[in-house]
Amino acid sequence: MHIAVDIGASSGRLITGELKEGKLVIQEIHRFANGYQKQGEFNCWDIDHLEEQILRGLQIAKQQGITACTLGIDTWAVDYALLGKDGERLRNVIAYRDSRTDGVMEQVWETMPKSDIYRKTGIQFQPFNSLYQFISEKEEVIRQTETVLLVPDYLNYRLTGKKVMEATNASTMQLLNPVSRTFDEELLNLAGVHASQFAELVEPGTVIGSITEKLQDAYDLPDCRVIAVGSHDTASAIAGVPASGENWAYLSSGTWSLLGTERRQPILNDSSLELNFTNEWGVDQTYRYLKNIIGMWIIQEIRSLYPVDYNYAEMVEEAMKADVKRPPAVHLNDVRFLKPDNMIEELQDYCRETDQYVPKTIGELSYTVFHNLAVIYSEALIELERLTGEELQTLHIVGGGAQNQILNQLTADYSGLQVIAGPTEATALGNLIVQMIAAGELASLDAGRQLIRSSFPLRTFVPAGAEKGRTVYDSKS
């Protein structure tokens, strides 16, 4: 038996997975909420709550009769815990949307040009990368820090007592070189941290260790071997894409939309830098050549602010009914939408400032977001073809957003590509197949993807007018 712990910005789950009659069978055994809140000066994640919920989920597994298993943890990237000499956390884990890093990236470029940082790391410029978070730390805090652990590494450490730095997530710090796969000394200096403050770099598939006896005694848990999976949720999601052959791109659609291709080599040239594509490290020493697009975060924010309660499926339904003749063109990837005080007002202000129709109802607001996300996806797909020199045929959409039929169809229509939607649980599946490879039950990543393809239903969306050949929506006309 294998258990995937998959924690995103808004919720976490424990999902069991096992092979039954040649199929991968999964079951969600525990779900809990996640989110960040202001604690003193900063917006922080409640990391102790996440740890407790993992233990609670494992107790449930035991109660369901699971006595032995492997376990893998994936979460969002870039955020970290700082451990003191006694191995205890120095303070809470600060959330990447906290404003402490505002303007830091731009200041850094005065010391080290953007192009140098990109050439050294191949990582996209996001204000929240760990590099800029480290620079925002007080010197004294860094001085007290014995070890920096990214969130899943920290949770693995709490379970096993073993400190490792899993590679896929480590790459998002913007401190590692994708060619040498080691730290860049100049960037470490800039960040004010030292290589000795990080644990040993390990690849997905590495066995970290067993859950400590102390925890075993305190809680009634299954006998668990903890495996380093693609601990960056996006790395697990891409491992879980049910693709085969060539000419496919993926879109991992959740709080963020991550759109890209899988490559064997990074792309570090100026065009790639200009379009802010990233070369995050993937499972099986691949590179996730992708772009961060704002994603369902906007929808989550609208939902929480809108005076009437609508669930996501209802928002999609309302969007389908909304009669928006000329949907406003909104550049959703603008930093103003990263963490505005009020997302609805921010969107409406943008439309007013640009002399466009101002969406008001839940259907109009949702349609405006879906339309613009699909436009951004199709633009990113064109950029991707240009940057890689490869022509695409299929876009695999995985994650919760793959259930959004209107967005799937708009994406197919605007991009001219066939869209294959599903599975929604790709992240947990990618997490599970790495455990299964480590356990010797699967031969390779390809075999895992084949297993996912044959175990879960997928839905195809054909672009409108496909019989006339590929036409791509032009957002400027």
Which residues form the catalytic set? Answer: 233
Name the residue type at position 281: W
Q: How far is the CB of 340 from ligand LFR (least distance, A)?
A: 17
Q: How far is the CB of 126 from ligand LFR (least distance, A)?
A: 6
Residue 382 Cβ vs ligand LFR, minimum distance, rounded to whole Å: 22
Only segment of 71-79, 114-122, 184-192, 370-378 that touches ligand LFR (CB under 6 A): 71-79
Least Å distance between CB 338 and ligand LFR? 11
Q: Which is nearer to ligand LFR, 258 or 387 (CB)?
A: 258
Classify residue 333 by its DSSP letter: T
- 241, HSE (Cβ side, Cα atoms, 13 Å): 31
Q: Could you say whether residue 77 binds ligand LFR (CB under 6 A)?
A: yes
| Count of helices and strands (H, E) across the chain | 18, 20
Site for ligand LFR contains 149 (CB under 6 A): no
125 makes contact with ligand LFR (CB under 6 A): no
234 lines the binding site for ligand LFR (CB under 6 A):
yes
Binds ligand LFR by CB under 6 A, chosen from 5, 6, 8, 316: 8
Q: Does 422 bind ligand LFR (CB under 6 A)?
A: no
Is the CB of 76 or the CB of 250 nearer to ligand LFR? 76
Q: Considering only the stretches 84-92, 252-260, 428-436, 442-450, report the one whose residues sit in contact with ligand LFR under the rule CB under 6 A.
A: 252-260
Return the residue of 157, 256, 277, 414 that touches ligand LFR, per CB under 6 A.
Answer: 256
* DSSP per-residue letters across 62-89: HHTT--EEEEEEEE-SS-EEEE-TTSSB
Candidate list 255, 261, 368, 409; residue touching ligand LFR; CB under 6 A:
255
- Told to check if 96 binds ligand LFR by CB under 6 A, we report yes
Stretch that binds ligand LFR, among 34-42, 73-81, 132-140, 353-361 (CB under 6 A): 73-81
Among 193, 258, 315, 319, binds ligand LFR (CB under 6 A): 258
Distance of alpha carbon 127 from the chain centroid = 16
Which range in 48-56, 74-82, 102-110, 359-367 contacts ligand LFR by CB under 6 A? 74-82
Rounded CA-CA distance 384/264 in Å is 15
Tokens 């390990």 correspond to what residue?
202
Count Cβ atoms below 10 Å from residue 23 Cβ, excluding itself: 13
Does 78 bind ligand LFR (CB under 6 A)? Our answer is yes
Smallest separation (angstroms) from ligand LFR to the CB of 21: 33
Using the minimum distance from each CB to ligand LFR, give the nearer residue, 76 or 350.
76
Residue owning tokens 């995103």: 8
Find the binding residues for ligand LFR in span 277-336 (CB under 6 A).
292
- Sorted by sequence, the CB contacts under 8 Å of residue 5 that are 6+ apart come out as 12, 13, 14, 54, 57, 71, 72, 73, 74, 155, 431
Residue 94 binds to ligand LFR (criterion: CB under 6 A): no
Locate 252 and state its tokens.
Answer: 């991992």
The answer to whether residue 50 forms part of the interface with ligand LFR (CB under 6 A) is no
Interaction residues for ligand LFR, span 203-232 (CB under 6 A): 232
What is the C-alpha separation between 283 and 305, in angstroms, rounded? Answer: 37
Residue 173 or 451 with smaller CB distance to ligand LFR = 173
Looking at this protein, which amino acid is placed at residue 145?
Answer: T
CB-based contacts of 374, cutoff 8 Å, min separation 6: 407, 410, 411, 413, 414, 415, 473
Given strand 207-210, what is the order of strands in its sheet?
Answer: 23-33, 11-20, 2-7, 68-75, 223-227, 207-210
Nearer to ligand LFR, 125 or 157 (CB): 125
Give the number of residues in contact with ligand LFR, rule: CB under 6 A: 13
Among 36, 45, 76, 250, binds ligand LFR (CB under 6 A): 76
Could you say whether residue 233 binds ligand LFR (CB under 6 A)? yes
Pairwise CA distance, residues 224 & 439, whole Å: 12
Q: Which is nearer to ligand LFR, 77 or 442 (CB)?
A: 77
The answer to whether the peptide bond before residue 423 is cis (omega within 30 degrees of 0) is: yes
Nearer to ligand LFR, 149 or 258 (CB): 258
Q: b/e map of 119-138 (b: 16 or more CB within 10 Å)?
A: bbbbbbbbbbbbbbbbbebe
3-class SS at 372?
Answer: helix
Give residue for tokens 């779900």.
Answer: 31
SS3 call for 476: coil
**Shortest Å distance, C-beta 123 to ligand LFR:** 10
How far apart, in whole angstroms, are the C-alpha atoms of residue 404 and residue 176? Answer: 36
Residues of the shown chain interacting with ligand LFR in the complex, contacts defined by CB under 6 A: 8, 76-78, 96, 232-234, 254-256, 258, 292
